[in-house]
Chains A and B, each alone.
Chain A
Amino acid sequence: MTLTADTPDTTTGTTGTGDDPAPRTHLPSYDADAPPRAPRAGLGRRSPDELFVRVGAWFSALGLAWLITQRLLPLEGIPWFVVVWFVAGVVVTGVATAMTGTSVDVKDRVAAVVVHGAMVVVLGALVSVVVFIVLQGWRPLTNANFFVDDMSGVGPRDSFDKGGVGHAIAGSLVQVGIAVAITLPLGIGTAVFMTEVGGRFARIVRTVVEAMTALPSIVAGLFIYTVWIIALGQERSGLAAGLAISVMMLPIIARAADVVLRVVPGGLREASLALGASRWRTVWHVVLPTARPGLATALILGVARGIGETSPVLLTSGSAAFYNSDPAHGSMTSLPLFIFDSVRSGDNALMQRGYGAALALLLLVLVLFVVARLLARPRGNRPTLRSRLRRSSSSRTRKAS
């Protein structure tokens, strides 16, 4: 802002009518639109010097890396080059900063470089996983029959337009369906018990449930194998696999639902009780609807965990190459088990199918994950599609009656 109108000014500074030229008290006025006299120092913006040090360090490190890996030390290959480049970049950044700044500056900038480097490593690892699976597994996926056909009568020499993993996808869905049918009511019921009823017994239940989240998934599978298949003499089936997944998922879902229900504001409960609602009405109409997005997220993340878990299924379901719609009898393959078997087979074409199944599994988990994110998003004021539909249909019925 600049100060203008230091001199007496007839247009702005005076209120006289012209007959009285005597100067009155003069108020300075500020012109908000005028440009500043001197450019303000940018807060947080990097000075050219700093920018030069930051960027230049990496170029100099690139040269150093070439010198070290290609001329000085016997470190061959691109991975070594990248590693040396990074280390040299950190060193050069530190040295260049030390030339102008203090040790505090050096620490700050080197730490920032290292943190960013770790981010690149982590994201790079994720990208490499996804790209690797896609590159290895896209070929079988280009045929639509991969998603619907089963592997019965398909030999290792057959091309990818024959056979598929439809049976494994169906098996995965059936087994996870069984697990959800068991764990959803039990898990949420237990969470309701732990948060809404409480008492000493609820504390015991909570302790045991939390302890059981530590159960390794393979041990859950071995438990079902010993009890259901060996002791009770049942055959390996989709039901057994579903039970094994349930044993693994139940503590996870119960615990996650417990966390979600505990953050429902107590004021909502008290308001409902104060209005005379009974406890179960409060739970049914206030607590559970409030927690619904969180519960949905907990469930879907539990499902994503259960659908990708191989070890309980490995022991209990048995592998089959065909569709099996009966979960109680006969072997039923699921996606992770199909991947495991085909990768272990050592056969090249089958391995490619295994990678295709891995890609399908990855996509399935991704879809579940996106759905969970969408459900968990805090609802804005915008009316949802469902409530709008309901409102319009109710107004229509009112008009009709």
Chain B
Amino acid sequence: MTTTLPDLDRTERSEADDQPRRLSKRSTGADAVFVWSVRVVGASVLVITGGVAIFLGAQLKPTLDRYGLAFFTTQEWSPDTDVVGIAAVMLGSIAIGLTAMAMAFPLAVLMALYVSEYAPARLRSTLVSVIDLMAAVPSIVYGLWAKDLIMPHSSAFARWLHQNLGWIPLFDVPGTDPNAAIPDSTRYISSSFCASIAVAMMVMPMACAVMRQVFSQTPQGEKEAALALGATKWGVVTNVVLPFGRGGMIGGTMLGLGRALGETIAVLLIISPVYDIKWSLTEIGSSSVSALIAGRFSDASDAQLSALLAAGFALFLLTLAVNTVAALIVNRSRSGAGVDA
């Protein structure tokens, strides 16, 4: 009795045998139901979110039909005379956003450096939580804080700026004399400057969280190599941590800017609406797209409502562009891996 072993080293191998076995990738039974149901969920979310964008975009047409291209260049927003335009509010939004980032950026970078490099190790996780908590504080709370606690000080500071740096148009307040015996302090309140303090408080923790995460991913070996070559702590920061985290710094700043552009309530609480393009940051009166919408939606006619929606769409496009650039920078940079913002 002999056992026939399968002939393992056949020589007459045909071409057909070398083909890989065909595997069906199609899911069957419960899996098919699962795949299709989550696909439906995904499609519905696509329809909802995409629908909002398309609906907003569609409002541009009636607005442009009615107001023409002057919609983008008109400064006024006076529904009574039916002259509306978004030039002033758009620039107001940008001015508030940029001023806020000018204040928030250095603080965010330094705070992120403190948490990732300077803080004692046992405080680190607490500080991370504190920053996240700051990001979760409702914006209306920051608005109240800036309006009732900070505004008197910020207006005094604005007057000081006018006295000493008044030749810079940003700090000039036309129509008042800062050196008068009894200065007109009401000209310095409710300004873009004060609103951007509240917005800066809001976006600083957000930018800081992104930066801290990127800084903490700096390879330990490179830091130790710098230290071993005799670098001081600041040397490590400037030569290793900051170059490594550059993408995260720019990305975090842009994300903060995107949020700052759309901020409503803190701005609405503080500014007094004026629809003019003005250079001065510290003069009373300013405007932003979101504050315009919140202030004017209730008494708007149909045409003005679609004009407001078109203004909102323009703001959305702006923040979208800023966020997309931020995401590209964060993802492209070496430090981008695993950063969720």
Contacts and interface: CB of A to CB of B under 8 A. Distances in A.
Interface of A: 77, 79, 104-105, 107-108, 111-112, 114-119, 121-123, 125-126, 128-129, 132-133, 136, 185-187, 189-190, 192-194, 196-197, 201-202, 204-205, 208-220, 222-223, 225-227, 230, 247, 250-251, 254, 256, 259, 263, 278-281, 283, 301, 304-305, 307-311, 314-315, 336, 339-340, 343-344, 354-355, 358, 361-362, 365-366, 368-369, 373
Contact of A214 (B142, B149, B316): B316
A114 B106 CA distance: 11
Contacts of A280: 30-31, 33-34
Interface SS of chain B: helix, strand, loop or mixed?
helix
A373 B133 CA distance: 10
A115 B118 contact: yes
Given A201-B39, A201-B42, A226-B305, A211 B324 contact: yes
Given A218-B264, A340-B265, A373-B129, 4 more contacts: A212-B53, A219-B56, A358-B141, A366-B133
Contacts of B233: 108, 111-112
Contacts of B338: 263
A202 B29 CA distance: 22
A136 B297 CA distance: 31
B16 interface: no
Interface of B: 27, 29-31, 33-35, 37-39, 41-46, 48-50, 52-53, 55-56, 106-107, 110-111, 113-114, 117-119, 129-130, 132-134, 136-142, 144-145, 147-149, 153, 156, 201, 204, 208, 232-235, 237, 258, 261-265, 269, 289-290, 293-294, 297, 302, 305-306, 308-309, 312-313, 315-316, 319-320, 322-324, 327, 338, 340
A190 B340 contact: no
A190 B45 contact: yes
A357 B149 CA distance: 17
A309 B149 CA distance: 21
> Which 9 pairs, one residue from A and one from B, show the smallest C-beta to C-beta distance?
A308-B138, A216-B262, A118-B110, A189-B41, A280-B34, A193-B42, A108-B232, A219-B312, A311-B264
Given A218-B262, A308-B139, A369-B136, A132 B149 contact: yes
A251 B49 contact: yes
A217 B308 contact: no
Nearest to A194: B42
A7 B322 CA distance: 80
A373 B293 CA distance: 36
B312 A222 contact: yes
Contacts of B117: 115
B294 A315 contact: yes
Contact of A279 (B27, B297, B308): B27
A219 B49 CA distance: 12
A310 B138 contact: yes
A128 B149 contact: yes
A227 B55 contact: yes
A118 B42 contact: no
B315 A219 contact: yes
Contacts of A104: 232, 235
Nearest to B200: A125
Nearest to A301: B136
A197 B37 CA distance: 11
